[in-house]
Structure 1
Amino acid sequence: MNYFVDTHAHIYHEDFKADRADMLQRCRDAKVDKIYMPNVDHESIDDMMELESRSEGMCHSMMGLHPCSVKRGFEKELYIVENWLAKRQFAAVGEIGTDLYWDKTLFDLQTEAFNIQVTWAKKYRLPIVIHCRESIDETLALIEKAKDDNLTGIFHCFSGNAEQAKRIISLGFLLGIGGVATFKNGGLDKVLPEISLDHLVLETDSPYLAPVPYRGKRNEPSYIPIVASRISEIKRVTTDEVRITTSKNATSLFNHV
């Protein structure tokens, strides 16, 4: 494959309002031809789907409820997600999962919302895209309980250790690798040598987590080649190998959507 895939980018975000068209052109120039957009909650749906409709096949929507949007009364949010999943095809159910970084008191609600959405992913035979900040082991336990032949997906923004990576792979999931791979103390330089490219996909999480040398600034999908280059250095393979294999992995997972 002669193009890159960004498997996780919030490019409908207001941070791109002033230069969204230019940003998409920079993506094309960088050979980032496919961008997958995770939903957050009901407020992000319209902007996400409008961008998808105007992108000429470049941008693809997921549908899900982000764990940081799971509050008391989250059932109303899930009703909206369920309705959309029944209406049309999406690339994945996402971004879903758990988050113990911002608020540890809502974990039970996050778990309930996650399990419900996993059920829908199985029903519609869609992959899931998982957020698990400070909660990889807890989320792995949930996946191990729910796992069957119809459940697969991506552990987005993976920053765990080699043991956790191998556990994820054993469950048939991919690791989403982004800007953290370029961080001096990101830790992935110790993990990636032990993991085959066959289990990796590239992502930015734009507008967040920009890679070095843009760390601290707005991230965008055109920076995907920087992540690929860093992975190639760590794994001692060519950037072309990284591009070809990770793009193939992403395309296969998202069922050519």
Structure 2
Amino acid sequence: MQLIDTHTHLYSEEFKNDLPEVMQRADKASIKQFYLPAIDSSTHEAMIALEVAYPDSCHAMMGLHPCSVKEDFQKELNIIKDWLDKRPFVAIGEIGLDFYWDKTHIEQQYEAFKIQMEWALERDLPIAIHARESLDECIATVKPFSKRGLKGIFHCFGGTTEQAKAIIDLNFYLGIGGVFTFKKANMPEVLKDISLNHIVLETDAPYLAPVPYRGKRNESAYLLYVAEALANSKEISLEELANITTGNAKKIFKAQ
């Protein structure tokens, strides 16, 4: 059995003291591939270093997180553009809109989001979307790009069944993580009639740890708890769920 963590920040400071053990625990839990979304230029070095250290399993994306979009966001985009021109990446992300933390630069967030989606289309790359308190707005913004062939993942999906269907209509995947195990989120009911063919798994480590580790540091090994909860909800074996979601992840990232 093989599981893929499609969204994990294993290069974060939170893992600096025990990364080898974190990777060993993930391997023991059958998580074999890790996709690393970028945040901004302050994390590029650590992210690339992790990919170099684990070239067969860690795969870097490149993009500007909406929470890092400020007045001078164009400087960050120029750095990202230089990276994209210099070497290959598996995706552009994580990008999108965040209306939870700070609404000061909403206009700039939209502009940065659209610019990076254009880059994804130019390079035939998928995108990883951050949509906190902005899911409907992200769906609307992505729609014209999806009509031109853009694909990707709505990371950390926690919306309604209607929003899930709208994302699927865009030919995008739903990134399902620890939130699925939170009772108040009611995600098993939301995804009750949603086919696994539209779902990939993620942790967003070190954030959003699933039950029974909620509130603690998340790590990729805990993806197994998400997989087990989703398999139980869908009343299928863990192996079947792994085969389907791993296949979806390989398809979106064009992996072997």
Query: What range describes the TM-score normalised by the shorter chain of this pair?
Result: over 0.9
Query: Hey, what's the Cα distance between the residues in 2 that align with 1:154 and 1:240?
Result: 22
Aligned to 1:23: 22
- AA matched with 1:8: H
Contact 2:26/2:221 (<8 A) preserved: yes
Give 1:222 shift.
Answer: 0.5
Write the distance in 1 (CA, Å) between the matches of 2:32 and 2:148: 30
Identify the residue that residue 49 of structure 2 maps to in structure 1: 50
Measure, in 2, the Cα distance between the counterparts of 1:242 and 1:104.
38
Q: Percent identity?
A: 50
Tell me which residue corresponds to 1:124. Answer: 123
What is residue 111 of structure 2 aligned with on the other side? Answer: 112
Counterpart position of 1:194: 193
Deviation at 1:237, TM superposition (A): 1.4
1:142 aligns with 2:141: yes
**Structure 2 match to 1:256:** 255
Indicate the residue corresponding to 2:85 in structure 1.
86
**Helix, strand or coil at the partner of 1:130:** strand
Report the CA distance between 1:103 and its aligned residue: 1.2
| AA matched with 2:252 | L
CA distance in 1, matches of 2:192, 2:239: 17
CA contact (8 A) 2:146 2:171 kept: no
The root-mean-square deviation of aligned C-alpha atoms, in Å, is 0.9
Structure 1 residue 147, shift from structure 2 partner: 2.2
Q: What does 1:163-174 align with in structure 2 at a 5 Å threshold? A: 163-174=162-173
Aligned residue in 1 for 2:154: 155
Map of 2:224 onto structure 1: 225
**In structure 2, how many angstroms separate the alpha carbons of the residues matched to 1:71 and 1:39?**
16
Secondary structure of the 1:63 match is coil
Q: Distance in 2 between matches of 1:237 and 1:31?
A: 18
Deviation at residue 150 of structure 1 after TM alignment: 2.8
Q: Which residue of 2 aligns with 1:96?
A: 95
Which residue in the other structure is 1:68 paired with? 67
How far, CA to CA, are the matches of 2:189 and 2:182 in structure 1? 12
CA contact (8 A) 1:4 1:243 kept: yes
Asked if 2 retains the 8 angstrom alpha-carbon contact of 1:192 and 1:234, the reply is no
How far did residue 149 of structure 1 move? 4.2
What is the CA-CA distance between 1:87 and the residue it aligns to? 1.2
Alpha-carbon distance in structure 1 between the residues aligned to 2:159 and 2:55: 36
TM-score by length of 2: 0.98
Question: Could you tell me which residue of structure 2 aligns to residue 183 of structure 1?
Answer: 182
The more displaced of 209-218 and 139-148 is: 139-148
User: Secondary structure, in 3 states, of the residue corresponding to 1:57?
Assistant: coil
Query: Aligned partner of 2:194: which letter?
Result: I
Q: What CA deviation, in whole Å up to 9, does each residue of 1:213-239 have, x standing for no partner?
A: 000000000011100010011111111
Cα deviation 1:156-179 (Å, max 9, x = unaligned): 000000000000001000000000
Partner residue in 2 for 1:236: 235
Contact 1:155 1:174 in 2 (8 A): yes
Q: Deviations over 1:81-121 (max 9, x none)?
A: 11111111111000000001011232111000000000000
* Distance change >3 Å, CA 148–CA 182, structure 1 → 2: same
In 2, Cα distance between the equivalents of 1:120 and 1:230?
A: 36
8 A contact 1:154–1:174 mirrored in 2: yes
- Distance in 1 (CA, whole Å) between partners of 2:148 and 2:247 is 20
Report the Cα offset of residue 146 of structure 1: 2.2
Distance 1:148 1:76 in 2: 29
Question: Quick one: distance in 1 between partners of 2:31 and 2:169?
Answer: 29
> Which ranges of structure 1 fall in alignment gaps of 5 or more residues?
none
